Amino acid sequence: MLAITSEPIDPRAVEAAVRSDACGGVVTFLGVVRERAHDGRAVNALSYEAHEAMAVAEFEAIVRDAKGAYGEVHLAILHRVGELKVGEIAVAVCVASAHRAAAFDACEFAIDALKRRAPIWKKEHYVDGSADWVANEC
């Protein structure tokens, strides 16, 4: 499961995409819309846009890089686009591996790589009615 979606993200479905009886470690990261921006301003929503084909191609490259670095890991990456309210899931990264260390490391690698490399853009909508496009940060 490597995709851009406009639908709400179900973390259990993302986990199910990577789980198997061979994997003893399953690690899930959920990026959730929070109520405050980095600068402290109150946020009531985020908007995400993506170049879908390029983003999915980058997700595939991230999976290849993670497997090269962490061995036999199974990854799912799902990122939402459109307007999301506070508390909604914007991104889910799930990794399954035979052992927990590789799953944790590969999960951290994948979300950080996604933030740096994927053509996905975020706009913060503030309670005061203003809005700003913001850079992805790791």
CATH number at residue 124: 3.90.1170.40
User: What's the first-to-final CA gap in the chain, in angstroms?
Assistant: 23
- Burial level of 47, CB count in 10 A (0-12/13-18/19+)? middle
Contact predicate 106/76, CB 8 Å: no
* Mean pLDDT (the chain, rounded): 96
Total-model pTM: 0.95
Structural domain of 67: 2-134
Q: Tell me: the pLDDT tens digits for 27-76?
A: 999 999 999 999 999 999 999 999 999 999 999 999 999 999 999 999 99
Q: How many domains does the chain have?
A: 1
Alpha-carbon gap, residue 132 to 118, rounded angstroms? 19
- Helix-strand-coil split of the chain, %, nearest 5: 30, 40, 30
Provide the angle, in degrees to the nearest 10, between the axes of the packed helices 100-117 and 52-70.
Answer: 150
137 — pLDDT class (breaks 50, 70, 90): low
Alpha-carbon gap, residue 114 to 109, rounded angstroms? 8
